[in-house]
Amino acid sequence: MTPAASEPRWRRLPEERPNQILQAALEVFDEQGLAGARLEDIAKRAGVSKGTIYLYFPNKEELFREVVRATVVPAIIEGDQQLLDEGTASDALRRQMRRYWEFSRTRAATTIHRLVIGELHRFPDLSTFYMNDVVMRKRDQVLRILQRGIDSGEFRQVDPAVASRMMGAMYSMHALYCSNRQAFPDLQTKTDDQVFEQIADFYLHALRACPQ
């Protein structure tokens, strides 16, 4: 082994230190939960000292915020940059659902969803942060499409805020189910694409305007 290869990662790549810490935090949060994670364990996983973490992040809660900002928020911004008005409202909504589903099936999203559902009620400040920076931003994107479909008569008259919340819940929960398929026999023979098609078909039919 060469001397360079045996050096800690942060000594060889100092510009990547914050990203290494965030990746280590995500892994430790996944294994130990938010309440159980310790900065000592995150530092060890990242190959840095605990003091080094404090150079970039003041506490564990801020680490969680930065993990969300580095993973979930960019996926939302990507949606903001795309033409949500292209094609029919059903077309635009299906594109949005596909993007949301694909991200939901990443390890980062699965970990964060599990933390949000299981632990964020014990961290009120983080709950508020997640609601404002993630939930409301995703909701606003879907609301725009839903309202366009309602106004054009493509979708029936529904409360767009309720319909948006329903969509988010379906995809978040099914993503968690698919990460633990052995506990759900009806999903064991289904691919991710097949699960997506089932949800999209159900949701779009629920929105479709009734024939006059």
> Half-sphere exposure (CA, 13 Å, Cβ side) for 96?
31
Contacts with 156 (C-beta within 8 Å, 6 or more apart), sequence order: 150, 207, 208, 209, 210
CATH 1.10.10.60 positions along the chain are: 1-58
Q: Does domain 1-58 have CATH number 1.10.10.60?
A: yes
CATH class assigned to 68-207: mainly alpha
CATH 1.10.357.10 positions along the chain are: 68-207
pLDDT in tens, 19-43: 999 999 999 999 999 999 999 999 9
pLDDT in tens, 81-127: 555 667 899 999 998 899 889 999 999 999 999 999 999 999 999 99
Element (DSSP H or E) covering residue 20: helix 17-36
